[in-house]
């Protein structure tokens, strides 16, 4: 993604000020809590020191997408791995201070990112998942999409890879976690907005019967990385239900915007290890702006219209 792509991307908001172009990130914020959506999507608040999990996970997923792309374009595994290791080394160098980037996290470190990429490529050396080659001859890897979910409502996103496994089509997604990956880890992906969106988009953009998402989860520990592969299926009627529910939900969040008020969803405050804004929301409304400015900054707003 270049600065030019960011600067020229259309706004995700329509002339009424309400969002019309959604992706799984903005949709998940709005589903989790309208107030979280207000802070993150509408006002663009971000943690002062960034989010190590997002940055680490993004670099990891991007490296593996590129690895699979190089393979599909004919590189050997060794050449493909060398290319992505070089890319990650460069992407994780702090050029202002002339030193490796530091994330202030015990296991999500630069060295452990490189280790996890090397170990993943070796772990899945004999991978039964085969990247699908599209009719135009290009591998179905790193695929940014955008389509109409209904009149005047767009859904956009980015698919890691379309693969064929045992004669069926799946989208793949890579996740990182510091927790042990047990079977229950994968249960959270059904129902799940992001995974349903991937499966739905896979069917629409590739015109192929995508059966679900294959999730390769990497546990990042201080001294090792461990991998587990999980499957989450979606039937056509489940996907249509997701589309209908998503549109109903979008109606609601657009109404909040038109009314200028985003209610708190207090049942979500302690989910996923605690909302980033819990300390702010716990304060009396008149002092919240000071607490917001103490821990967050307003950066560039999230824009689902930016292609990667």
For binding to other proteins (CB under 8 A), which residues are involved? 81-82, 85-86, 89-90, 93, 98-100, 110-111, 114-115, 118-119, 122-124, 127-128, 147-148, 165-166, 168, 203-204, 207, 209-211, 214, 223-224, 226-231, 233, 235-237, 239-240, 243
- In 10 A of CB 155, how many CB atoms? 24
In angstroms, the first-to-last Cα distance of the chain is 5
**If we measure between CA atoms, which residue out of 298, 129, 301 comes closest to residue 229?**
129
Question: How does DSSP classify residue 38?
Answer: I
Tokens linked to 200? 């739905």
Check if the beta carbon of residue 23 is closer than 8 Å to that of residue 154: no
Please, what is the minimum distance in Å from the beta carbon of residue 228 to other proteins?
6
User: Between 224 and 261, whose beta carbon lies closer to other proteins?
Assistant: 224
The minimum distance between CB 72 and other proteins, in angstroms, equals: 19
Smallest gap from Cβ 209 to other proteins, in A, equals: 5
Nearest approach, Cβ of residue 48 and other proteins (Å)? 27
State how far the Cα of 23 lies from the Cα of 12, in Å rounded to an integer.
10
- Return the number of the residue (168 or 251) whose C-beta is nearest other proteins: 168
The minimum distance between CB 176 and other proteins, in angstroms, equals 15
Nearer to other proteins, 57 or 230 (CB): 230
Phi-psi region of 273 (alpha: psi -120 to 50; beta: other; left: phi over 0): left
Using DSSP's 3-state secondary structure scheme, residue 192 falls into coil
């Amino acid at each position: 993604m270049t600065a030019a792509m960011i600067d020229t991307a259309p706004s995700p908001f329509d002339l009424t000020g309400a969002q019309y172009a959604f992706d799984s990130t903005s949709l998940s914020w709005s589903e989790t809590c309208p107030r979280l959506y207000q802070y993150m999507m509408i006002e663009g608040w971000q943690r002062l020191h960034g989010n190590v999990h997002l940055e680490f996970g993004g670099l990891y997923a991007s490296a593996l997408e590129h690895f699979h792309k190089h393979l599909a374009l004919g590189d050997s595994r060794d050449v493909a791995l060398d290319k992505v290791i070089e890319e990650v080394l460069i992407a994780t160098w702090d050029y202002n201070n002339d030193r490796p980037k530091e994330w202030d996290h015990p296991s999500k470190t630069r060295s452990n990112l490189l280790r996890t990429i090397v170990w993943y490529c070796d772990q899945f050396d004999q991978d039964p998942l085969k990247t699908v080659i599209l009719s135009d001859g290009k591998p179905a890897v790193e695929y940014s999409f955008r389509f109409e979910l209904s009149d005047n409502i767009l859904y956009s996103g980015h698919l890691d890879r379309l693969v064929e496994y045992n004669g069926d089509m799946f989208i793949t997604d890579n996740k990182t976690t510091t927790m042990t990956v047990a079977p229950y880890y994968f249960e959270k992906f059904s129902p799940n907005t992001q995974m349903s969106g991937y499966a739905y988009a896979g069917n629409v953009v590739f015109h192929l019967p995508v059966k679900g998402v294959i999730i390769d989860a990497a546990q990042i520990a201080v001294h090792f990385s461990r991998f587990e592969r999980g499957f989450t299926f979606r039937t056509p009627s489940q996907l249509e239900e997701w589309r209908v529910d998503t549109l109903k939900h979008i109606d609601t969040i657009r109404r909040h915007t038109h009314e200028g008020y985003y209610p708190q969803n207090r049942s979500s405050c302690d989910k996923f290890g605690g909302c980033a804004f819990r300390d702010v929301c716990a304060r009396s409304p008149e002092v919240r702006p000071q607490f917001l400015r103490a821990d967050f900054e307003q950066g560039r707003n999230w824009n689902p219209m930016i292609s990667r």
